Amino acid sequence: MKRTITLAGAGLVGALTATLLAQRGFDVEVFERRPDPRKAGFLGGRSINLALAERGWHGLRVAGLQQRIAPIAVMMRGRMVHHMDGHTELLRYGRDDSEVIWSVNRGSLNMALLDAAEAAGARIRFERRLESVDWDKSTLQLGDDRGTTQTHAFTCLIGADGAGSALRTAMAGQIDMGERFEPLDHGYKELEIPARDGQLQDGRPQNGKFQMEPNALHIWPRGNYMCIALPNAEGSFTVTLFLPSNSDSTGNSGSPSFASVTTGAQARALFERDFADAVPLIPDLQKDFAENPTGLLGTLYLQRWHVDGRALLIGDAAHAIVPFHGQGMNCGFEDAVELAQLMKEGGSDMRATFAEFERRRKPNADAIAAMALENYVEMRDSVADAHFLLMRALERKLAERHPGRFVPRYWMVTFSRLPYSIAFERGEIQSAILRELCAGKHDLQQVDLEEADRLIAARLPLLPT
Ligand SMILES: Cc1cc2nc3c(=O)[nH]c(=O)nc-3n(C[C@H](O)[C@H](O)[C@H](O)COP(=O)(O)OP(=O)(O)OC[C@H]3O[C@@H](n4cnc5c(N)ncnc54)[C@H](O)[C@@H]3O)c2cc1C
């Protein structure tokens, strides 16, 4: 008889996990608190589009979804930096167009994953919110918006119900999960650059319909804060403004914050001063700012991800991170692939399977959490800094001189599936080498490349192929 797996949450990670488990012969049921987005429209709530990288693509390929998602993904070749004086420059992510990331609409991706999960045989029940778990009776309490509650029996639970996971709360009633949430003292607000008016071709605009270069992640780094913009396939861009939550969070009272910029008019004044080239592109700036919610950010750390073989957390429910490496979903998709494989191979001992999953994934989740926090400083600040640009130029040079040995951390995280923990460890060693070589230097000609070769040979073994 097929084993029944019960999932809470049919977001990005839950829907992919349901697909992969159903494809591997499990009987899968999913409870999702929202209505079916394919009927009701997508009520995303946050980040309209996301950056999809190699780890995410891998999950989609394993599920057989690459062909479905590729046409709705927009290539981003690098960071298009918008400097204060208005000039822009493209800092490429990789060597060529095989090393790029992709912007994809959260709603379209989620709906494609729901279709795939159902096609594989998963049963998804929408408007069913997990409220609590009775561990003695092995039952769930599921609520809906009409105030009705149902009791439902389970044998094995997987929580993909996001950063505010109800299953996590229920598990914490059973064991000490070692939970710690570190809020970031910066929040975000989304605004929109619409597509240019005009005819669509095959339902999609031509490049001319984008008001800025479409194939880039646009970024306005301003020291302690920044704006970014990701393209959408239909020609618009989603702009995200990241600001400190409070003016005093940095000790810099001159820095804008969500405490000092509260009205649409104040937001407009901030944009006119700091993001001037974006102002004519955002016709509803004041309205968007006033009406869209301010998002909160932070990092969730847990010591335990499972209760015996009965319940396991994955995706944001286990390890929500800040979005500055564009890896939360990508990491969650890796969870889904690893879990499906372990469950397929693991036989009936779910406790051993869940423990092994936690053993393999937790060091990687911890590593990407740390790298995502570091990347915020890089994006908002260093990206416009001369010393940082020298270090990046040297990094490229050393990567060419020592392929397979000196590999930029961004490359390992974004374009490979090397464990995040290895990317993190090697990244630390490489940063130390770059700092040593660039100390007191102003351009690449001054760097001692023979010394670089010696340091690399001594400290960095060849990566496994
Ligand atoms: C501003 C921002 C930008 C981001 N950009 C990127 C990016 O560029 N690239 C990237 O890889 N990641 C990005 N992320 C991270 C990414 O959004 C998350 O990592 C990803 O959504 C996690 O997926 P999930 O399925 O685990 O959780 P969620 O997407 O939160 O899905 C959880 C699901 O569970 C449902 N649910 C919640 N509670 C219950 C309940 N009690 N019962 C039943 N169902 C429930 C929810 O309705 C939802 O459908 C970004 C995040 C933010 C905030």
Flag whether pLDDT at 132 surpasses 70. Answer: yes
Give yes or no for a contact between 89 and 221, defined as CB atoms under 8 angstroms apart.
no
Rounded Cα–Cα distance for residues 323 and 49 (Å)? 12
Classify residue 36 by its DSSP letter. Answer: P
Return the higher-pLDDT residue of 51 and 200.
Answer: 51
Cα within 13 Å of Cα(398), Cβ side: 30
Cα within 13 Å of Cα(238), Cβ side: 21
- What digits encode the pLDDT tens for the residues 75-117? 999 999 999 999 999 989 988 999 999 999 999 999 999 999 9
Rounded Cα–Cα distance for residues 31 and 260 (Å)? 41
To 10 degrees, what angle do helices 350-380 and 420-438 make? 30
Split at pLDDT 50, 70, 90, the class of 385 is: confident
C-alpha of residue 294 to centroid of ligand 1, in Å: 16
Q: What type of residue is 94? A: G
Average pLDDT over residues 422-429: 97
Split at pLDDT 50, 70, 90, the class of 364 is: very high
Rounded to two decimals, what is the model's pTM?
0.94
Burial class (CB in 10 A: 0-12, 13-18, 19+), 442: exposed
Rounded Cα–Cα distance for residues 257 and 269 (Å)? 13
Q: Which of 217, 329, 337, 339 to mutate to test the pocket of ligand 1 (most atoms within 8 A of CB)?
A: 329
Rounded Cα–Cα distance for residues 306 and 158 (Å)? 9
Q: Is 37 close to ligand 1, i.e. is its CB under 6 Å away?
A: no
The neighbour count for residue 134, using CB atoms within 10 Å, is 13
C-alpha 168, offset from chain centre: 20
Rounded Cα–Cα distance for residues 452 and 398 (Å)? 8
Q: Above pLDDT 70, what percent of the chain? A: 94
Alpha helices in 164-212 (DSSP H): 166-172
Q: Is 315 close to ligand 1, i.e. is its CB under 6 Å away?
A: yes
Flag whether pLDDT at 168 surpasses 90. Answer: yes
To 10 degrees, what angle do helices 12-23 and 54-62 make? 40
Of 278, 284, 285, nearest to 211 by C-alpha is 278
Q: For residue 50, give the ligand 1 atom closest to its CA.
A: 8
Flag whether pLDDT at 395 surpasses 60. Answer: yes
pLDDT for 252: 52
C-alpha 262, offset from chain centre: 27
Rounded Cα–Cα distance for residues 248 and 256 (Å)? 10
CA angle 149, 28, 328 (to 5 degrees): 90
Please spell the DSSP secondary structure of 30-74, one letter per residue: EE-SSPPHHHH-----S-SEEEE-HHHHHHHHHTT-HHHHGGG-E
pLDDT for 208: 67
- What digits encode the pLDDT tens for the residues 40-83? 776 655 568 999 999 999 999 999 999 999 999 999 999 999 99
**Residues whose CB falls within 8 Å of the CB of residue 346, separated by 6 or more in sequence, listed in order:** 352, 353, 356
Rounded Cα–Cα distance for residues 213 and 207 (Å)? 8
**Residues whose CB falls within 8 Å of the CB of residue 258, separated by 6 or more in sequence, listed in order:** 187, 189, 243, 244, 245, 246, 294
Average pLDDT over residues 249-270: 84
Q: Which residues pair with 104 in a beta bridge?
A: 50
Classify residue 465 by its DSSP letter. Answer: -
Q: For residue 297, give the ligand 1 atom closest to its CA.
A: 53
Q: Which of 30, 50, 106 to mutate to test the pocket of ligand 1 (most atoms within 8 A of CB)?
A: 50
**Token pair in block for residue 182:** 């570190």
pLDDT for 202: 54
Average pLDDT over residues 142-168: 96
Of 7, 111, 131, nearest to 65 by C-alpha is 111
Flag whether pLDDT at 200 surpasses 70. Answer: no
Q: Is 310 close to ligand 1, i.e. is its CB under 6 Å away?
A: no
